[in-house]
Structure 1
Amino acid sequence: MDRRELGDALRAAGVADGYYRIEGVHEPAPTPTDFLFLRQASDGGWETGAYERGVYEVIARHPGEAQACAHLLRLLLP
């Protein structure tokens, strides 16, 4: 699964737009107060985490986009 497929799956599941941010695919504006995110790290890896009160906190680092997408999906769809 890539980022676009993840975005499609979250929309189909009815996850509210403000609950997540997927770099380059789903970037709500204005920026919500709190949300989960998926982004590419400066070293080329991928990160999933939480944004709360203006601070990004990385929960996990992943070697590839597919692993990061799977992790964010698990976080948002129990």
Structure 2
Amino acid sequence: MDRRSLLTVLRARGVQDGHYYIEDVHQPSPLPTDFLYLRRSPALSGRWETGSYERGTWETIAQHTREEDACAHLLRLLTADD
């Protein structure tokens, strides 16, 4: 699944828009106080990262070599209680 497909799945499952950020696909503005995210790694070229954002700090949870793996991870993080 790519980032656009992930957005479709999250919306279909009723995950609130302010709970996540997906680079170039869903970037709430203004940024909420805290959320989970998927973005290209600013430190490692060609990598994707998933993590949490809280009070202005981006905290990486995992690095991924493939966008699809990062999408699957963010989906698990956001729907773990389903």
Alignment length, in residue pairs? 78
Q: Percent identity?
A: 63
Aligned letter for 1:6?
Answer: L
Match of residue 20 from structure 1: 20
Moved segments of 4+, more than 2 Å? none
**TM-score, with normalisation over the residues of structure 1?**
0.97
Aligned to 2:11: 11
Equivalent residue in structure 1 for 2:73, among 59, 71, 74: 71
When normalised by structure 2's length, the TM-score is: 0.93
Aligned-partner residue type, residue 51 of structure 1:
Y
Match of 1:48 among 50, 63, 74: 50
Q: Distance in 1 between matches of 2:33 and 2:50?
A: 17
SS of the aligned residue for 2:38 comes to strand
CA distance in 2, matches of 1:9, 1:61: 22
**Does the residue aligned with 2:53 lie in a helix, a strand or coil?**
strand
Matching residue's letter, 1:61: Q
Matched, 1:61 2:68: no
TM-align CA RMSD: 0.6
| Superposed displacement of residue 41, structure 1 | 1.4
